[in-house]
Amino acid sequence: MNSRVLVTEAGQVVAGTVACALVLPFIVDVHTATLLTVYAMLALSLGFIWGFGGILCFGQAAFYGLGAYTYALAAINFDGAWVAFGLAILVPAAFAGLLGALMFYGRLSDVYLAVVTLVVTLILFKFFNSTAGPSYRIGEARLGGFNGIPGFPTLTVPGSPDTYIYGAGLFYFAIALLALVYLGLRLTLLSPFGRIVVSLRENEERTELLGYDVRFYKSAAFAVSGGIAGLAGCLFANWAEIVTPGLFSLGQSAEIIIWVIVGGLGTLIGPMIGAALLGYLKFALGHQSVVDNSFIMGVLLIVVVLFLQEGLVPTVTRFAKAGLRRSSSKKSRRQSRRKRIVSDVR
């Protein structure tokens, strides 16, 4: 990979991260800004696998909830929240990789793949929702049924176990992780692995004819997506300080898909912006009781599908490029006229 490309990408990510870290707390409170950052990371996980790999997963909430529950259970059972932090990424990634291998090596079609991922999410929701009895525990941690798991240890500053990462500290930590994930995905897409993943979306049969094991690459990309969703779930657990079966709900799965569609497929920025905008709109509408939030989300989805089929970010980018081309064309025509006038005068 060209080192100049790497430096440019890193510089853009750092600049964008600093801008968001400085501006966002002035738009919303830090508590809300942290959750919007978590939503952006969750949408990014689906945006990668769907927008670039062509794999629509209806069960992204499964990996999100699994990451949150893994963190809570590990934080209670192990000495040190950072061990739980690592497991909250590894367990969903491994689960997604195994599930992906079963589906892709089983040669399931796109429709059945969507159904299987949705069913897995519903199974996890039903399971964790029915674990209210005292016998349902993993180590020292009770699963708690629909009440969830509260009161687990949250992240602390390394080397200072009594200094917890919360409030503004958690926001800056979350947005730094989001920037690292974004940069990692950008570099991944520029790598040979990323190019193969994109080729699966463009023409899977041709990629397979070229000798690549498309099922392996699909499973690997699925695992990466699951790990990112698990990281988002871990951050949510630290933000809320409680995890409940609602993380696996059908509504949560649908919201993630809507975020990505509204933001725009085929980009990494689009899903993040879609999640942040719709998440903020959800909070704003939560203060009124006239119109149901789900109704507004449904209307927005219909509008985007009918009139902005590419999504917000690709549409805005296309119009901006068209405007720049028109401006450049006008400028060149003015320069040509000046040259002709000067030539005539001479």
E strands present in the chain = 137-138, 141-142, 149-150, 156-157, 160-164, 242-243
CA atoms within 13 A on the CB side of 234: 29
Cα–Cα dist 314/267, whole Å: 8
Q: Please, are residues 124 and 111 in contact by the beta-carbon 8 Å criterion?
A: no
**SS3 for 303-320, per residue?**
HHHHHCCCCHHHHHHHHH
- Cα first-last separation, the chain: 53
pLDDT at 295: 78
Cα–Cα dist 331/31, whole Å: 47
Cα–Cα dist 80/87, whole Å: 12
What is the average pLDDT across 232-253? 95
Positive or negative, the CA dihedral 109, 115, 118, 122 is negative
Cα–Cα dist 150/244, whole Å: 9
Q: Which amino acid, one-letter code, is at 242?
A: I
pLDDT at 328: 66
- What is the per-residue pLDDT across 107-144, written as a single tens digit (0 to 9) for each? 888 889 999 999 999 999 999 999 988 889 998 999 99
The average confidence (pLDDT) of the chain is 88
pLDDT cut 70: percent of the chain above it: 89
At residue 163, does pLDDT exceed 80?
yes
Residue of higher predicted confidence among 58 and 338:
58
User: Using 50, 70 and 90 to split pLDDT, how confident is the model at 341?
Assistant: low
What is the token pair recorded at 191?
């790598």
Positive or negative, the CA dihedral 96, 207, 48, 126 is negative
Residue of higher predicted confidence among 291 and 150:
150
User: Using 50, 70 and 90 to split pLDDT, how confident is the model at 5?
Assistant: low
- What is the per-residue pLDDT across 165-224, written as a single tens digit (0 to 9) for each? 999 999 999 999 999 999 999 999 999 999 999 999 998 999 999 999 999 999 999 999
Give Dmax (Cα) for the chain: 97
User: Using 50, 70 and 90 to split pLDDT, how confident is the model at 272?
Assistant: very high
Residues 6 or more apart whose Cβ sits within 8 Å of residue 322: none
Beta bridge partners, 228, equal: none
Residues 6 or more apart whose Cβ sits within 8 Å of residue 260: 43, 46, 47, 50, 51, 270, 271, 274, 275
pLDDT at 83: 94
pLDDT at 183: 92
pLDDT at 107: 86
Helix axes 60-77, 110-129, angle to 10 degrees: 40
At residue 13, does pLDDT exceed 80?
no
> pTM, whole model, 2 decimals?
0.90
pLDDT at 317: 84
Cβ neighbour number for residue 264 with a 10 Å cutoff: 26
The one-character DSSP state at 142 is E
pLDDT at 192: 93
What is the token pair recorded at 78?
């192990």
Cα–Cα dist 332/346, whole Å: 21
SS3 content of the chain, % helix, strand, coil (to 5): 75, 5, 20
pLDDT at 7: 64
- What is the per-residue pLDDT across 76-86, written as a single tens digit (0 to 9) for each? 999 779 999 99
pLDDT at 327: 66
What is the average pLDDT across 140-165? 91
What is the average pLDDT across 276-297? 78
pLDDT cut 90: percent of the chain above it: 60
Length of the chain: 346
Rg (CA), the chain: 23
- What is the per-residue pLDDT across 14-71, written as a single tens digit (0 to 9) for each? 777 777 777 887 888 999 999 999 999 999 999 999 999 999 999 999 999 999 999 9
At residue 345, does pLDDT exceed 80?
no
- Which helix (H) or strand (E) segment holds residue 269: the answer is helix 269-285
At residue 300, does pLDDT exceed 90?
no
What is the token pair recorded at 197?
């993943």
